[in-house]
Every structure is written in structure tokens, then in C-alpha cells.
């Protein structure tokens, strides 16, 4: 299965600037070298939307983790 963790581009830019201490221009150049959001989403079997807080993200991860465990033959 292919899992994509997605967030709006503006949020990606803001988070990357804060995390990596780089400019908006630098972040946009990095994003341009990657697969587009539409390309990533079109290949995904499962998508986690990471546009909220950590509690929301952890809930989504746990739900998907349980689903993946249910797919396991063991």
C-alpha cells in the first residue's frame, strides 16, 4: 500500500521555513523538484491529512495503523 501524508502547500511552506530556517523562495524551489501534490495523491491508497494539531494527526495514524494490522495475515 502507498501512504501519503498531505497538507496544504502554504502550510508545507510555513512549516519548512520554521523547521529548516530557509526562505519561502528556497522552499518553493524544493517543492518544484518533487512530484506534484496531484501526482502523489493519485498514487495513494491511503491519505493522512496533516493540517491540524498533533492530537488530530496521532488519531489518524492510530486509525490507519489499526486498519493495516487488520490486513495482516498474522
Query: Do 3 and 46 form a contact (C-beta atoms < 8 A)?
Result: yes
Helix (H), strand (E) at residue 27: helix 24-32
Mean pLDDT by 10 residues, the chain (74 residues): 96 97 97 96 97 96 96 86
Query: Which residues 6+ apart lie within 8 Å of 20 measured at CB?
Result: 27
Query: What is residue 73's predicted lDDT score, i.e. its pLDDT?
Result: 85
Give the chain's length.
Answer: 74
Query: What is residue 36's predicted lDDT score, i.e. its pLDDT?
Result: 95
Q: Report how far apart, in Å, the C-alpha atoms of 43 and of each of 8, 21, 50, 65 are.
A: 17, 31, 18, 19
Amino acid at each position: 500500500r502507498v501512504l501519503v501524508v498531505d497538507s496544504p502547500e502554504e502550510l508545507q511552506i510555513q512549516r519548512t521555513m520554521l523547521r529548516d530556517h530557509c526562505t519561502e523562495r528556497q522552499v518553493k524551489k524544493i517543492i518544484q523538484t518533487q512530484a506534484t501534490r496531484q501526482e502523489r495523491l493519485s498514487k495513494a491508497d491511503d491519505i493522512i491529512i496533516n493540517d491540524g494539531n498533533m492530537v488530530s494527526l496521532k488519531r489518524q495514524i492510530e486509525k490507519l495503523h489499526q486498519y493495516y494490522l487488520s490486513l495482516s495475515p498474522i
